[in-house]
Amino acid sequence: MRKTTLALLLAVWGVTFSSPAAADLKVFACEPEWAALARDVGGDKVDAYSATHARQDPHHIRAKPSLIARIRRADMVFCSGADLEVGWLPLLLQRGARAGVQPGTTGHLMAAEQVPVLEKPAVVDRSLGDVHPGGNPHVHLNPENILIIATELGKRMMALDPENAAHYRNRMASFSKSWRAAMDRWKHRTAKLSGMPVIVHHKSFSYLFDWMGLKEVATLEVKPGIPPTVSHLNGLLRTAKSVNVKTILRAPYDPSDGADWLSAKTGIPQVELPYTVERNAPAGALINLFDRTITLLEGAHAGS
Ligand SMILES: [Zn+2]
C-alpha cells in the first residue's frame, strides 16, 4: 500500500516538476553574447546560460565540473566556434553532453560557421602560439553577422522545439526589424569614424572595424595569443607616431601593461571597449553593446 502511494506521489511529482522544465529549451552558450541572442530570439521559451562572463578570456577557460553539469542538461550548444573554445568545449562535450548537441547536429550551433571568417591563415602553425588557427573567431562584433546568426538560431529553435515554432518565428521577425533599424542608426553614426587609425591589444574587434571601416594599424600582441615583447613594443612606438594613431583599444579581459606602456610613451589614450554583454544580460542587451561601443569610439575620434 505504501509502495503504491509512493509510486503515485512520484508520478505526480514527475508531472509537476518535469512539464514546465520540458517546455524550456535549455541553451548552453559559451559566451555571454550568444546567451543574450538566444534570449532575444527565444524569449520566455528559452533558458539560456553563459559559460563565461564579460571579464573572462574565452580563449582560456577551464572545463570545470559546474560547466560539465550545465552542458549535460543542454538541448542546444551555441558558441563562437572557429577554435575559440578549442581548449575547453570538446572536453565538456565528451563529459556526458547529449547526442543532440554534438558536432554536426541541429543542437550544435557554431556562429563562425554561419558567416565569412576573416584572417584565415594560409599556413597554420600552432607551434607559434597563434590562437586563431581557423581564422578570427570574434564574429559577433559585426552587426550584419548577428542578423545572419540570429536567423539560423531561430530556425534551429523551431526545429528543436516545434510546438513553439510560431513563438520563435514572431520573435525573430520583431528582432530582425529592430536590429535593422539599429544598424541604420549605427551606420549613420560611424560614417565619420571611417579610416580612423587604431592599435588593439588582441584582434578582438576585427569584425567591428571591418564593418565600420576603422583602420587597425597594429596589435600589441606579437601574434594572436602571444604577449607583447620589448622589441615589438618599440616597433609600435615608431608606427604610432608615424600614422597618427587615435586610440589604443582592448577588451576587459586583456592585460593592460602593454597598452599602459605605449599610452605613457606616446600620449595616445587607451580605451577599454566592452567587447560583450553581462553574463545574465536581459533581452535587448546586444543593441546596448553596440551603442556603448560606438559612443566610446566617437569619444576617441573627438579626442575626448
Ligand atoms: Zn582571439
Does one domain contain both 265 and 123? no
Q: Ligand 1 mean position to 208 CA, how many Å? A: 14
- For the entire predicted model, the pTM comes to 0.91
CA distance 116 to 246: 28
Average pLDDT of the chain to the nearest whole number: 92
Which residue's C-alpha cell is 544580460?
A: 281
Q: Name the percent of the chain lying above pLDDT 70.
A: 90
Does one domain contain both 212 and 181? no
pLDDT band at 121 (very low <50, low <70, confident <90, very high): confident
Q: Could you tell me which residues are beta bridge partners of residue 200?
A: 219, 249
Q: Ligand 1 mean position to 27 CA, how many Å? A: 23
In a domain, 11, yes or no: no
Does one domain contain both 264 and 167? no
CA distance 201 to 141: 16
pLDDT band at 123 (very low <50, low <70, confident <90, very high): confident
Q: Over the stretch 190-216, which tens digit does the pLDDT of each residue have? A: 999 999 999 999 999 999 999 999 999
Q: Ligand 1 mean position to 22 CA, how many Å? A: 36
The whole-number average pLDDT for the span 96-121 is: 96
Does one domain contain both 199 and 295? yes
Does one domain contain both 44 and 160? yes
Does one domain contain both 59 and 178? yes
Q: Ligand 1 mean position to 224 CA, how many Å? A: 6
In a domain, 16, yes or no: no
Give SS3 for 272: strand
In a domain, 260, yes or no: yes
Given a cut of 50, is residue 82 above it in pLDDT?
yes
In a domain, 277, yes or no: yes
Number of H helices, E strands in the chain: 10, 8
Residue 127 has what pLDDT?
62
C-alpha torsion sign, points 47, 48, 51, 54: negative
Beta sheet of 197-200, edge-to-edge order: 215-219, 197-200, 247-250, 270-272
Q: Ligand 1 mean position to 176 CA, how many Å? A: 27
Given a cut of 80, is residue 278 above it in pLDDT?
yes
Q: Ligand 1 mean position to 83 CA, how many Å? A: 9
Q: Ligand 1 mean position to 140 CA, how many Å? A: 12
Give rounded-to-5 percent helix, strand, coil for the chain.
Answer: 55, 10, 35
Given a cut of 90, is residue 109 above it in pLDDT?
yes
Residue 300 has what pLDDT?
95
If one compares 173 and 16, the residue with the highest pLDDT of the two is 173
Q: Ligand 1 mean position to 15 CA, how many Å? A: 45
Q: Ligand 1 mean position to 297 CA, how many Å? A: 20
Residue 4 has what pLDDT?
47
Q: Ligand 1 mean position to 145 CA, how many Å? A: 17
Range of 258's domain?
193-302
- 144, 116 contact by CB (below 8 A): no
Does one domain contain both 177 and 231? no
Given a cut of 70, is residue 233 above it in pLDDT?
yes
Q: Ligand 1 mean position to 168 CA, how many Å? A: 31
Q: Ligand 1 mean position to 204 CA, how many Å? A: 6
Residue 126 has what pLDDT?
64
The whole-number average pLDDT for the span 118-139 is: 84
In a domain, 10, yes or no: no
Total number of domains constituting the chain: 2
Q: Ligand 1 mean position to 55 CA, how many Å? A: 14
Q: Name the percent of the chain lying above pLDDT 90.
A: 86
CA distance 6 to 190: 65
179 Cβ contact list (under 8 Å, min separation 6): 143, 146, 147, 150, 287
Residue 113 has what pLDDT?
98
* Helices marked H in the chain: 2-23, 32-42, 65-72, 89-94, 143-160, 165-190, 206-212, 230-243, 257-266, 285-302
Q: Which of 160, 185, 210 corresponds to the end of one domain? A: 185
The whole-number average pLDDT for the span 12-32 is: 67
Q: Ligand 1 mean position to 44 CA, how many Å? A: 32
CB atoms within 10 A of CB 130: 17
